[in-house]
Structure formats: C-alpha cells, structure tokens
Amino acid sequence: MKKQYFLYILLVFAAFLWTTTVRAEYVLPYPGSMPGSKFYLLSRIADSLKRYWYWGSIASLQYHLQLSDKYLVEAKTLFEYQQYVLAVDALTRSNEQFTVLPGLLHEIEKEGKNVSKLRQKISEASEKHLKTLDGIQTEVPAQYVWKPEKLEPVFLDFTKIFFEAKQKRIL
C-alpha cells in the first residue's frame, strides 16, 4: 500500500516536472455590430457608457485597448467590403483609443504599480495592429475619390491615412 502511494506521489511530481508553459499570441476580437445594423447605435452608446464602469487606471487601460481592437476590426471589415468612408471613420476611432494607452501606462507607473505585463500586452497589441494595418493597406488602393450624390466628391489618401495610423501605434 505504501508503495502505491509512493508511486502516485512520484507520478504527480513527474507530471508537474514535465509541464511546459504555453503562450498565446495576441488575437483581435470578432467584429460586433457593424454600421447599418439596427444594433450599431446601441453598441456605440454601450461603448460610451462602459467608460464610466472602467474607473480604475488599469481597467481604463484595458477598456481603451479593447475599444481600439474593436474599431480596428470594424475598419478592417469595412475596408474589405469597400466601405471606405465608414472604414476611415472606424480607423480614426481606433487611433484615438490607442493614443490614450501610453498616457494611462505612465499614470499606472506613477501609482507605483508593476506595469511590465501591461507594457508587454500593449506591445503585442501594437505589433498585431501594425500587421493588420499592413494587410489592409495591401488590399486597398493608394487613393480613392468618393462621389456622393448631390454633394462634393471626397478625396481619401489611404497612404497618408495608414501612415498616420501606424505612427500612432509605434511605441
């Protein structure tokens, strides 16, 4: 009986010895409701209201990172469907959310909290965003003129738009 207990303990100990750590790469979220959906306005209102729910500095940083991811995926999807004006708007919102992150990270650091994991998370997000922007940029034309009915045409310089978006994500 003692031999069986000893073997069980040895087996459990060996199982813990041979474990390896698993690291998942940064993944962007699945796009939620898109412009034109009945629920899109509700989604935008909910995003605005959530700002008051995430009141701590770390929670606020995660909130802005989630919104930046969400709007980037929205922009990517809209670019794929050639809805360029809506895509540029979503990309602008993503840029605004991402530019808040370094300031929040500095604020958390001033509070004396360990920011190494948060810094790593933002760095991974930045790399994923840059990779996604590069992928989108290869699929869209360098320039586009949107001609709405009864209004003046709107010139969109995607080279400049993507350059500015990438600059905001370089840490």
Residue corresponding to tokens 């939620």 = 32
Asked, for residue 19, whether it belongs to a domain, the answer is no
Least confident of 9-23, 53-67, 117-131: 9-23
pTM above the 0.85 mark?
Answer: no
Asked, for residue 36, whether it belongs to a domain, the answer is no
Q: Give Cα separations from 144 to 46, 47, 160 (angstroms).
A: 32, 30, 12
Alpha helices by DSSP H, listed for the chain, are 2-17, 40-53, 57-80, 84-110, 116-139, 158-169
Asked, for residue 24, whether it belongs to a domain, the answer is no
pLDDT at 22 over 70: no
Asked, for residue 5, whether it belongs to a domain, the answer is no
Asked, for residue 161, whether it belongs to a domain, the answer is yes
The Cα–Cα gap between 79 and 108 comes to 35
The Cα–Cα gap between 100 and 107 comes to 11
Q: How many domains does the chain have?
A: 1
CB 54 within 8 A of CB 76: no
CB 133 within 8 A of CB 162: yes
Asked, for residue 29, whether it belongs to a domain, the answer is no
Domain span at residue 90 reads 41-169
Asked, for residue 16, whether it belongs to a domain, the answer is no
Residues of the chain above pLDDT 70, percent: 90
Asked, for residue 90, whether it belongs to a domain, the answer is yes
